[in-house]
Amino acid sequence: MAPTLVAHVVADAGAFLKKAPLQEIGSTIYTLKDVVDEIRDKPTRRSLAFLPYQLTFREPHPEHIRHGHPSGTRCRTLAHTDPERIRHVTEFSKKTGDYPSLSATDIKVLALTYQLELEHVGSKHLKKEPEVKVNVHSTQRHPETPVNVAGFFLPSREKKSSESVGVRQKFPDGDPFNSFQFWRPALPTVDKELLQLLDPLEVSDPKEMSSDSFNTFNSFQFWRPPLASIDSLMHLLNLDDVSSSDQRSDEDKENEPEEEEDDDEEDEEEEEEEGDGGWITPGNIKQVKMDSSDWTAPADVTVGCLTTDFAMQNVLIQIGLHVLSVNGMLIKQARNYILRCHACFKTTSNMSRLFCPHCGNRTLKKIAVTVSADGNTQMHFSKNPKVLNSKGLRHSLPMPQGGKHGNNPQLVEDQRFPQQRLSRKARQKTNVFDPDFVSGASPFSQNDIYSRAANLQIRDGQGGGGRRRANPNAAHKKFVKKN
């Protein structure tokens, strides 16, 4: 069965960076010139020059609209899109809380998708207000904590009453006081359950208690129902019946082979008819992934936006627009990953950060976030205690290395590193204006294994921020030539 193509697809920069097969997803592909200008990756820009499909640039209307941006800059002149639609998308993103994470180009992509939806489908199913459900499960700190002092816990002190010591102070017994609403939900009360169990006894005097009441009390009714006596179970054991059943089983075994052969033939025929039921095979792997994921095939979708930005997906889903994934499937609910600091419990959606932007520690952990169609945001924490594993970090730091090729761990975000530029002699060997010059991204280029940087295993980027996990039993180079 041929895949269903979406009539109009608006592509964001993530579609080109992920090299999505847009010709297999949509019939007409739209984008903006600002989206193409955002792409700085050389292989991606090189692939844009040889696209197997026609890319349609849709520019805004001649009206000039400007609206403020949280970064202090002004959006470029927007034309070809109705000002009301851009204003609606901007206000909608402010209500969902995603406006600080959106750039001017992102708002234009959202407005273009909204405009195409109005032109080809209509506006009856689109929402004007986000259905955001805020579920607060816990507070960031105790409400009575006076100040936030790093490394210290300051509990609230009890206020001394002005009354005398002999006078007892009466505390309210209501649910708001006993519910521990700052820390945990209310604990179940046992008094009412015990009273309900003791009501049938109606004990007035211990001397007047009968033996039946003692038996009822000693039956562990507070913990579990009374166990059945052994005498009541003895009638289930009958040796005569067991011996007769053994004789019958011996007679049945003689007649079993012929019946088993017939049953095996019937079972094989049933298995052939059923096929590979319950097994994952190369033929049904796509269907299994679709059934167990958060996206489905885009059936009856006229306009869709293909983006990998979490904030844009959240706004599109809450408006009522269709969001497409990189593989061309329709996303039912936005699920992405954010970084959460397990030291200060702050979150950031910038997945390229190595250090926490609030406390500066390398304590960021990736957690999954799900945003449903009704605007509910939920974080999925891992139950595995090894997520915060300190293995390999108890060893002392290595001595700092100097020079151009020093390989030092990155301990802070603003740590300075040598630029490791090529020497002048090496730059003379590389002539980019040579007609036979082959770029490094070409699959026919050779790997550099002879230079000093390659021998020292120095790459373009660092190996990650923070302390590196050391292994004292790891193999080291021998007979290293020392200067």
pLDDT at 444 over 70: no
Q: What is the CA radius of gyration of the chain?
A: 35
Residue-wise pLDDT for 268-289, tens only, equals 555 444 444 567 777 776 666 6
User: With 80 as the cut, is the pLDDT of residue 186 above it?
Assistant: no
Q: 436-441: list long-range contacts, CB under 8 Å, 24+ apart.
A: 439/42, 439/46, 441/42, 441/43, 441/46
Q: Give 111's Cβ-side CA count (13 Å radius).
A: 27
Do 107 and 37 lie in one domain? The reply is yes
| Paired strand residues for 379 | 369
Residues 208, 212, 217, 219, Cα dihedral to 10°: 170
- When comparing pLDDT for 452 and 183, which is higher? 452
Query: In terms of C-beta density within 10 A (0-12 exposed, 13-18 middle, 19 or more buried), how is residue 60 classed?
Result: buried
If asked whether residues 52 and 124 sit together in one domain, one would say yes
Q: Verify that 305 and 378 share a domain, yes or no.
A: no
Together in a domain, 338 and 384: yes
Comparing 73 with 124, which gets the higher pLDDT?
124
| C-beta of residue 4 within 8 angstroms of C-beta of residue 299 | yes
Per-residue model confidence (pLDDT) at position 79: 42
Query: What mean pLDDT do residues 401-423 have?
Result: 81
Residue 344 annotated as binding site: yes
In the predicted structure, residue 11 carries a pLDDT above the cut 90: yes
Domain annotation covers residue 40: yes
Q: Which of 394, 414, 385 is nearest to 468 (CA)?
A: 394
Within 13 A of 18's CA, how many CA atoms are on the CB side? Answer: 16
CA 13, 10, 60: angle at the middle one, nearest 5? 95
Mean pLDDT lowest among 153-167, 185-199, 349-363, 450-464: 153-167
Tell me the residue ranges of DSSP E strands in 248-328.
295-296, 303-306, 322-324
CA angle 214, 216, 221 (to 5 degrees): 130
Q: Is residue 347 part of a domain?
A: yes
Is 75 marked within a binding site?
A: no
In a domain, 36, yes or no: yes
| Count: domains in the chain | 2
Q: What is the mean pLDDT of the chain?
A: 68
Sheet strands side by side (includes 26-31)? 55-57, 26-31, 6-11, 303-306, 322-324, 330-331, 295-296
**pLDDT the model gives residue 358:** 92
For the chain, the residue count is: 483
Selected residue with higher pLDDT from 340 and 440: 340
Evaluate whether 445 touches 438 at the Cβ level (below 8 Å): yes
| CATH number of the domain bearing residue 101 | 3.40.50.1010
Q: Are residues 318 and 373 in the same domain?
A: no
Which of 358, 388, 418 is the last residue before a domain boundary?
Answer: 388
pLDDT of residue 20 exceeding 80: yes
Q: What is the pLDDT of residue 376?
A: 73
pLDDT band for position 349 (50/70/90)?
A: confident
Q: What pLDDT does residue 127 have? A: 85
For residue 188, pLDDT beyond 60: no
Q: For residue range 112-161, what is the model confidence (pLDDT) as tens digits?
A: 999 898 888 888 888 888 765 434 333 344 434 444 555 555 555 554 54
Domain boundary (345, 369, 388) is at 388
Note the pLDDT of residue 435.
62
- Are residues 356 and 346 in contact, defined by beta-carbon separation less than 8 angstroms? yes
Q: Does residue 381 belong to any structural domain of this protein?
A: yes
The answer to whether 116 and 8 are in contact (CB under 8 A) is: yes
Phi, psi of 370 (to 5 degrees): -120, 130
pLDDT digits (tens, 9 = 90+) for 93-126: 888 777 878 888 999 899 999 989 888 888 888 8
Using DSSP, state whether 236 is helix, strand or coil: helix
The conformation of residue 336, written as its DSSP 8-state character, comes to E
Per-residue pLDDT of 26-66, as tens digits, reads 899 999 999 998 898 888 888 888 888 889 898 654 333 33
Chain centre to alpha carbon of residue 122: 33
**Whole-angstrom Cα distance, residue 422 to residue 424?**
7
Give pLDDT, residue 9: 92
**What pLDDT does residue 156 have?**
53
Q: Look at residue 24 and give its three-state secondary structure.
A: helix
Quick one: what percent of the chain has pLDDT higher than 70? 46
Are 357 and 341 contained in the same domain? Answer: yes
Domain range for 381 is 334-388
**pLDDT tens, residue by residue, 193-229:** 556 665 555 544 555 555 555 554 454 444 455 556 6
Instruction: Indicate whether 137 belongs to any domain.
Output: no
**Which of the given ranges, 79-93, 285-299, 304-318, 326-340, has the highest pLDDT on average?**
304-318
Quote the DSSP letter at residue 228: P
